[in-house]
Amino acid sequence: MLTEDKIIRIFCIVDDILKGIGHFEDSRRRVSDSEVITTALVSALYFGGHLDNGRNFMKMTGLVPGMLDKSRFNRRLHCVSELVLSLFWQLGHYLKSVAGASEYVIDSFPVAVCDNIRISRCKLLKGKQWRGKQCSMRRYFYGVKVQVLVNAEASR
């Protein structure tokens, strides 16, 4: 579900973190760095990483009324790439301090819906996005890949 409330929350978190790390930007800019980063996150979350669709959505809904054109938006996004890395680091550090764990275990495994020979007759899932490869077993599967992240204390 795409709601404006979720997008506003994302903007508030991004803006608060940027203020918290002391980020300074030129006051003459029409679109803030927080709005550029939020638009990129909305594009990644809701539009499969298609920046132009996310940019158009933010402009059409009025969330960022003075949205930049495609070329200027991409240049600004490249300018704030280090800032986005810092933002993810800050957010990860905060989540790690809240969770209280210092070690995590991650695992993933495929859940195959059918064998490769039966893909054309599969009625549950349709499309190439459901094809995957499990490198450790040197085989392909048709289904979903489950990824699990737990702290090391819970895995013992």
The answer to whether residues 9 and 85 belong to one domain is yes
Answer whether 140's CB lies under 8 Å from 131's CB: yes
Answer whether 25's CB lies under 8 Å from 15's CB: no
CA distances from 107 to 96, 151, 152 (A): 18, 12, 12
The answer to whether residues 10 and 84 belong to one domain is yes
pLDDT, one tens digit per residue, over 11-44 is 998 898 888 888 888 888 889 999 999 999 999 9
The DSSP string of the chain is ---HHHHHHHHHHHHHHHHHTT----TT-SS-HHHHHHHHHHHHHHSTT-HHHHHHHHHHTTSSTTPPPHHHHHHHHHHTHHHHHHHHHHHHHHHHHHH--S-EEEEEEEEEEE-GGGGGG-SS--SGGGEEEEGGGTEEEEEEEEEEEEEHHHH-
pLDDT score recorded for residue 78: 93
Domain with 19, as residue range(s), is 4-99
The answer to whether residues 91 and 120 belong to one domain is no
The answer to whether residues 17 and 62 belong to one domain is yes
The answer to whether residues 85 and 24 belong to one domain is yes
Return per-residue pLDDT of the chain as tens, 156 residues: 457 889 999 999 889 888 888 888 888 888 999 999 999 999 998 898 899 999 999 999 999 999 999 999 999 999 999 888 888 887 788 777 777 766 778 888 888 888 777 777 777 888 888 888 888 878 888 888 888 888 777 656
What is the reported pTM? 0.63
pLDDT, one tens digit per residue, over 138-147 is 888 888 888 8
The answer to whether residues 92 and 117 belong to one domain is no
- Bridge partners for 140 per DSSP: 133
The answer to whether residues 44 and 68 belong to one domain is yes
Answer whether 11's CB lies under 8 Å from 34's CB: yes
